[in-house]
């Protein structure tokens, strides 16, 4: 049985394995855990993707009116099952290339000096279902995002207490969620470079609270990692172990999943920091089924949020004619207290009768601008293609 950090049989990108008896003798997960694949040109979202979509929910875009997302509206992505967790017996260990290994219960951890950070978190697969061809996985549209206030112990505090060895280069984080993916039985596990894990700016947290309340089960109760500026796969939930290592981590979620690949044999680049994105709170009112927006003629206030994990957002533009011409929007002032939180933006559009397509796009301080042509890769990661909102303006 393949388990732990190996890559297993399912790292390819062809059709699923057969489920015959002979296959199952050599591979216990044959027919159960298919390899990654792309949808056929006319293939609709299937029952497996629909099942994922019912487990994992996105942020209703109208909820971007809240600067801090209520916990029940924040997006959720859970790879396997939400594990049972007992706060009275939970322990966090720090071991590996350290001089003083740690074993901390929750009371001890929560007695240490804490910090609170407002962090915008986005799933690396946000926008996947808008790609063509579509990678078959959790079918996110645009709603896999949220901003919360996370409270916990700075990771660098724990690393200092453990006295990390000079040759350590990475920290590996293990969650209690367990499953099989592409033929690999595993606990969810990711690593960070030590320079990121131990940094003071931004400060990585071992969080035990969300919006001034204990973490909800779906958000990692009782402990999770918070890595400002990084896509959600780095924010390991149900955290119970940190291992310092002197060699690169090659586990499934690091070396096989979450990489930007163009072809099946492309080793790819790792998914790390969040690409810039602006989202529009859909204006007017929606049709129930199509979600097409309806407005009346005249001035229509437009607003939304913009963020980037690479640098501060410095410009938001909006097109009223399907990304043909662009108009600058007003950005809220930067908030030094919340450098890793989204920024509010707003403008006014004068609607005229007929159909329209509204498109916002963000640019950050390093010059990264959202594309209007899809940035395709086989995993559907980091797709920050500019949003397009179809609006029908009623006759006068």
114: Cβ contacts below 8 Å, ≥ 6 apart: 151, 152, 153
Order of strands across the sheet with 91-96?
102-105, 91-96, 239-245, 170-181, 184-193
Where are any strands of DSSP class E within 248-384?
259-260, 269-270, 277-280, 285-286, 293-295, 298-307, 313-319, 327-328, 330-331, 343-351, 354-364
Name the burial class of residue 227, with classes exposed (0-12), middle (13-18) and buried (19+) by CB atoms within 10 angstroms of its CB.
buried
Predicted confidence at residue 30, as pLDDT, reads 85
Report the distance separating Cα 203 and Cα 141, nearest Å. Answer: 30
Buried/exposed 46-56: b ≥16 CB within 10 Å, e otherwise? eeebeebbeeb
Name the burial class of residue 186, with classes exposed (0-12), middle (13-18) and buried (19+) by CB atoms within 10 angstroms of its CB.
buried
Q: Which of 350, 370, 352, 351 is nearest to 361 (CA)?
A: 370
- Angle at the Cα of 372 (from 368 to 373), degrees rounded to 5? 105
63 touches 145 (CB < 8 A): no
Residue with tokens 């979620």: 253
Predicted confidence at residue 25, as pLDDT, reads 55
Q: Which of 115, 257, 146, 138 is nearest to 191 (CA)?
A: 257
Predicted confidence at residue 226, as pLDDT, reads 98
Report the distance separating Cα 106 and Cα 335, nearest Å. Answer: 32
215: Cβ contacts below 8 Å, ≥ 6 apart: 207, 208, 209, 221, 222, 223, 224
Report the distance separating Cα 131 and Cα 381, nearest Å. Answer: 10
- Start-to-end CA span in the chain (Å): 67
- H/E stretch holding 244: strand 239-245
Q: Which of 321, 357, 328, 358 is nearest to 345 (CA)?
A: 328
Q: Could you give the dihedral angle defined by the CA atoms of residues 347, 384, 223 and 157, in that order, rounded to the nearest 10 degrees?
A: -90
Report the distance separating Cα 187 and Cα 176, nearest Å. Answer: 6
Q: With H, G, I as helix, E, B as strand and everything else as coil, classify residue 48.
A: helix
Q: Tell me the two tokens of residue 184.
A: 């690999």
83 touches 238 (CB < 8 A): yes
Read off the pTM.
Answer: 0.93
Name the burial class of residue 348, with classes exposed (0-12), middle (13-18) and buried (19+) by CB atoms within 10 angstroms of its CB.
middle
69 touches 342 (CB < 8 A): no
Q: Tell me the two tokens of residue 316.
A: 């938001």
Predicted confidence at residue 31, as pLDDT, reads 85
Residue numbers of the chain with a pLDDT score lower than 70? 1-26
- H/E stretch holding 115: strand 115-122
pLDDT tens figures, 287-344: 999 999 999 999 999 999 999 999 999 999 999 999 999 999 999 999 999 999 999 9
Predicted confidence at residue 239, as pLDDT, reads 98
């Amino acid at each position: 049985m393949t388990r732990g950090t190996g890559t297993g049989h399912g790292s390819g990108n062809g059709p699923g394995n057969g489920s015959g008896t002979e296959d199952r003798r050599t591979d216990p997960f044959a027919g159960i855990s298919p390899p990654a694949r792309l949808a056929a040109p006319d293939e609709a979202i299937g029952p497996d993707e629909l099942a994922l979509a019912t487990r994992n929910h996105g942020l209703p875009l109208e909820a971007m009116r809240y600067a801090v997302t209520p916990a029940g509206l924040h997006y959720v992505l859970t790879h396997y099952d939400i594990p049972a967790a007992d706060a009275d017996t939970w322990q966090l260990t720090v071991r590996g290339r350290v001089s003083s290994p740690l074993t901390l219960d929750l009371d001890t951890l929560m007695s240490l000096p804490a910090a609170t950070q407002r962090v915008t978190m986005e799933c690396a697969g946000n926008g996947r279902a808008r790609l063509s061809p579509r990678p078959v996985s959790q079918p996110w549209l645009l709603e896999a995002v949220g901003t919360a206030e996370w409270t916990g112990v700075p990771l660098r505090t724990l690393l200092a207490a453990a006295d990390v060895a000079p040759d350590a280069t990475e920290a590996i984080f293990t969650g209690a969620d367990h499953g099989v993916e592409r033929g690999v039985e595993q606990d969810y596990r990711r690593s960070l470079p030590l320079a990121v894990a131990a940094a003071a700016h931004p400060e990585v947290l071992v969080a035990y609270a969300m919006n001034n309340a204990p973490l909800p089960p779906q958000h990692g109760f009782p402990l999770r990692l918070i890595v400002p500026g990084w896509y959600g796969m780095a924010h390991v939930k149900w955290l119970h172990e940190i291992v310092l290592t002197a060699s690169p981590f090659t586990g499934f979620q690091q070396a096989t999943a979450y990489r930007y690949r163009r072809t099946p044999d492309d080793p790819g680049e790792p998914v790390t920091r969040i690409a810039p994105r602006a989202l529009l709170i859909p204006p007017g009112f929606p049709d129930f089924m199509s979600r097409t927006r309806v407005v009346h003629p005249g001035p229509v206030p437009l607003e939304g949020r913009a963020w980037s994990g690479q640098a501060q957002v410095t410009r938001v533009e909006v097109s009223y004619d399907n990304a043909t011409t662009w108009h600058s929007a007003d950005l809220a002032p930067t908030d030094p207290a919340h450098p890793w939180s989204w920024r509010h933006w707003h403008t006014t559009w004068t609607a005229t009768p007929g159909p329209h397509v509204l498109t916002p796009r963000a640019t950050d301080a390093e010059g990264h601008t959202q594309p209007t042509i899809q940035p395709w890769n086989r995993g559907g990661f980091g797709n920050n293609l500019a949003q397009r909102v179809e609006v029908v303006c009623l006759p006068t």
